[in-house]
Structure 1
């Protein structure tokens, strides 16, 4: 099926914006100027015209397949500003769907957390690059000694640096389900052998460029996820968000110590609180998570803002300029 949008095939194409209940509660703002296309966990898409979409990032935060009722102030601005920074920095490696972050077609009520982007035919693959072993990759390694079919040395542990970055693609899951790690052969069966190789090579080139920049800023880019689409002429284009705290693991380099979970610039603080006795929430239950306390909100916001300011060297208060 051809999907013309610029967000995740799983989180957008199969999730209409006017869906009742859960999706309705996640809507950022009703933009009368444009037709709503889809609503995801964090973003909404609106059709601007036949060639463009408006991608709006909210302050919502998701954890353990739930969208929490408590927003994180400025999170949408961080995701948007950080994506723009990286799209511009990576422009010599690959074209992106970004048209503008400051355009008359962007309504004032979402300015700073919305991007005007090109419509693309998105490829149904989560393109993940890993330079360190963590998360689902660590779990798979412990079971098989491999990640997505890539053999790894014995003796690696939590947060071990890999001998070289690896491409570990995943399928795009439906809302409420988990992405599934797959092999390069599985990707080739979906998009063709040549395209699969292009996705692997491009993903690793982008990761290596971004990881080197992050190192100069005192930050480790442990892993990250990219989504790609095709322009009308078949050119591969970088879409969705890119190298944000929601799509990447960023660790402070001065606190790095393999063999344990690393402090990170993302929503891990939210996850940790939800699974702590203090929250009183049972993850295995059907009960939605409780509201976040003020201190968790403030600490999470601080992590997102610090990620942006450390990586870019810019002050978030200046966004959008």
Structure 2
């Protein structure tokens, strides 16, 4: 029997390739279809991973999720709304049962979160939330914290108080700023926008802020920084330039991160209970997933926070 020529024509090869591509598309499309069955997974989107506050939040979420039989898929946006949206889409394709998220600095459009709700998947926001997002929000009273921190500096005799903070487009920084401004007004201290520095709170942003404050014609005698790491960077820069803390400039930070007790003098700060916040966010989500609460439930949960007074702000030592 003669051996046949098994060489395929170019036309036949193209047809096979076209069929393979189409089958691949169909397979991908099928894997992207939402599953009706539960996956017992919860998606988490955070704006960063390298802070004590976020790791504490994640520990609180993990504890509650583990007790309820859920596993976590954790992503982070690196403070970028486009990466946040990509993470959200990825979690949607993985068919998570619910989502817990904290917004990036520059997130304005929430459409990537609305996709979850359209599919009946509950979303909980914590810390950085959007106004009127029709979801449950877990936050602290940032306005009160800003008011309290500024009032403490005023009570220590400060009358020229600077604020170093993040983007006022985010709720946490906008509300702390409003608390700062209202504390000044209550004590008849003029608000000076030159002493409100909006930075990204990175090391470089904090150094820039510290330099600007020392270059002011009238230097501040108190500084409220809405992040402990940023406050520590500013403190070190001030000390390197002969400024005494708190005698020349009293300092208050925010978060009660580990660094607040490692700097000298130790940093007065706002204790931000990340573990409790994570627990509350996960518990609220699980209540919705298990039917204890409705999936469309909208509420605001406020977690307790407090001012922790340490040496960095005590011009009046007797008040400690």
- Class of the TM-score when normalised by the shorter of the 2 chains: under 0.3
User: Higher strand fraction: Structure 1 or Structure 2?
Assistant: 1
Larger of the two Rg values belongs to structure: 2
TM-score normalised to the size of structure 2? 0.26
User: Higher helix fraction: Structure 1 or Structure 2?
Assistant: 2
